[in-house]
Structure 1
């Protein structure tokens, strides 16, 4: 299949209310934990993207029975902790980085052998950070150089509990170790110097797992699970993904005379770094219908076009918005002054070197940007940038972010491929068109 380029021309004001798909992080975990429960769980609002469908396929291969019901909910009959089946064929994760890292945690404490494969993009992404603690627990791994896919893992027959301090803030590493701890006799403890996303902890509690969480004198969180444990089946609803809502939110802020509301968005405090930053930049943001559901804060986010100003985003905020820096960079391109983003080195090991991909895309559209190993500084234009073509490097967030840029620019912005958007947000184009945006296929491709 060839590429699918798309052009985003300047837009009319964006108006309306919309919902976004279920949160991807919660969706992955809901399927995995349901597969580990003994009995039947029901999940509503699941994000049916390629990444999550890959997780469903993997959990089926490991023994769970998973079915989509006529009402759109998903029914999962789990096999129980310790009872995962050895897969008959390689586990194909497609482009799902979260899924492969968390699943390696599950496999590490089960006495089976499995091979993990992925697409070209996922096969370039390093797995060393998650494999290091799993090997300490007794798992054996054979991987390509650089600890990349494809790799084969042999789970420990007698897994050993560990106390492990995260070298970098990472919900994926934390979750992988906690999931391995579910089938490990004794107490497994994660120490995180900086809080990362806590969806795994919240969902484990919903499945009846008792975690012990403490904060020491230095502010480090210690999260412990004592295994082996049994998970209770449960019914849950996945809230709207704040990472998906971010695109409509920024579009509503930078396209003149816009008024946009995104409903039922997850407002977990470990996920709201972008919204906090935009408020500091002067964004007109209001949270409406604020409530608690399933242990998570949920609300409707209303934004109106605003004059933004540059700010410094501290490194401590990176864990709560690591996926939102590309779209924040777009907001920064239309702000007055310079926005400096610190502690963003993790962007260099995403689907692509996301930091340089964003910088290159901004430069192609006339925006001044500087980068270092762990930082990026974007200086907003007095006019409105645009007119360039952006190389996405098969990165869905790069594609979506620069399509948003085109809506507020003086001239149209083109991206070289949009196929990968389906991995995380298959309804993105339809959502933006509902608000009034219009996209087109470049003439050279359509002629």
Structure 2
């Protein structure tokens, strides 16, 4: 995506969305399948992997570190692992594009192995702070040379003699927790992460599936997750469920576009990821879960969504970790709800692909929606949405998709200044949505 020219898009009022669709595979599971497959013994096979740029960049990175990665014509990805201590220094830079998850988890994976790697990313990723992972990884014994402000480009010198640590997360972050746990895999002894607030637990679930020696205890000060290092992992066969963060867009589209009735298949229902579904149901959204089942240690199901009259609510701050990526889509839904929706606990949105909170508020205001906000909260006054605005996406895929959904039910079309970066997480977004009856088209 580096250097790609902007691709502005417009969405217009649509109704009667109908059909079944499967959104791309879960991004969190896709990254972790490749990273753990790279250090397992044997061949890991992953089907349903999200083939967006973020995940493809992770695949290229683990290949550069010594794992063998290939995709066969049936869409299955094969990763031949090198064992927990087998990663090697890459010959060139590791380019993570737009992916904060990819780079932060890879830094953890590499930190306890004596290799040197230089990590780079696009303009958006290069503006994001890496200190939250380099601080604990330095305690384990890794060294880092970074650009000003602890940012990319960043050179990692992995620890020759890694030491186990007990690390209490200063902020709720699944990425930081995962980076420390992955570093613990090649560290002797017991590495412990204490999280005062539970965050998404895909790393723990997948480590367990790969055979890691991992234990989880709930104590007074939070969840204690302990990994005993230097045990080999065993390759796995993984069917990646659909990403609930990507499902957010067709869910909200069907709720706000009159006369809609759609089914989204095989969506991951891990309770650390379903905050948006819970919230939309509380607002009056007609969402039912069908065909609930287990796949690869994760609960999945099909979501049937029908257009609904929504009402504004207070969304509890404690729910933020289970829906942190879905607030832009929720803010759009709130614009069409009767009354005021208040969202709290949003400080993490200030350090996403963009200052996502400011970008959401600016996009809402550009389309005639009244808002109020503070450092970590946003309030949206709902009702009829005028639309007609041009939204600045700031290279943020979720801002682009959220406001394209807004245009499906606003009085005038909504334009976004760039949709090129949507491919990082949701390839063929416009095609899949238009297949349901949406009107999303390029602006000439």
Residue-by-residue CA offset, 1:103-129 (whole Å, 9 max, x unaligned)? 000111000111100011100000111
* 1:338 match: 340
Alignment partners' CA distance in 1, 2:5 and 2:227: 47
* 2:66 match: 63
Structure 1: runs of 5 or more not aligned: none
Mapped contact 2:164–2:188 kept (Cα < 8 A): yes
User: Do structure 1's residue 25 and structure 2's residue 53 form an aligned pair?
Assistant: no
The count of corresponding residues between Structure 1 and Structure 2 is 441
* 1:435 match: 436
Alignment partners' CA distance in 2, 1:176 and 1:350: 17
Normalising by structure 1, what TM-score? 0.98
Aligned with residue 138 of structure 2, among 120, 130, 135: 135
User: Do structure 1's residue 415 and structure 2's residue 416 form an aligned pair?
Assistant: yes
Residue-by-residue CA offset, 1:110-161 (whole Å, 9 max, x unaligned)? 0011110001110000011111100111111110111100011111101110
1:168-187 to 2 correspondences below 5 Å: 168-187=171-190
User: Do structure 1's residue 146 and structure 2's residue 149 form an aligned pair?
Assistant: yes
* 1:207 match: 210
1:253 deviates by 0.3
2:78 is paired with a residue of what secondary structure?
Answer: strand
Aligned with residue 293 of structure 1, among 292, 295, 303: 295
Alignment partners' CA distance in 1, 2:375 and 2:131: 20
1:13 deviates by 1.6
1:440 deviates by 2.5
2:123 is paired with a residue of what secondary structure?
Answer: coil
Residue-by-residue CA offset, 1:36-88 (whole Å, 9 max, x unaligned)? 11111111110000000000000000000001012110111001101101111
Mapped contact 2:368–2:385 kept (Cα < 8 A): no
Mapped contact 2:20–2:262 kept (Cα < 8 A): yes
Alignment partners' CA distance in 2, 1:258 and 1:384: 18
**Moved >3 Å (runs of 4+):** none
1:295 deviates by 1.1
Alignment partners' CA distance in 2, 1:2 and 1:228: 46
Structure 2: runs of 5 or more not aligned: none
* 1:98 match: 101
Alignment partners' CA distance in 2, 1:292 and 1:2: 42
Aligned with residue 18 of structure 2, among 4, 10, 15: 15
Aligned with residue 350 of structure 2, among 348, 355, 379: 348
User: Do structure 1's residue 397 and structure 2's residue 401 form an aligned pair?
Assistant: no
Residue-by-residue CA offset, 1:319-372 (whole Å, 9 max, x unaligned)? 100000000000000001111110101111111110000000000000001111
2:118 is paired with a residue of what secondary structure?
Answer: strand
Query: Alignment RMSD, CA only?
Result: 0.8
Aligned with residue 41 of structure 2, among 38, 41, 48: 38
1:2 deviates by 2.4
Alignment partners' CA distance in 1, 2:22 and 2:93: 36
Normalising by structure 2, what TM-score? 0.98
Alignment partners' CA distance in 1, 2:88 and 2:26: 28
1:431 deviates by 1.1
Mapped contact 2:369–2:385 kept (Cα < 8 A): no
User: Do structure 1's residue 279 and structure 2's residue 281 form an aligned pair?
Assistant: yes
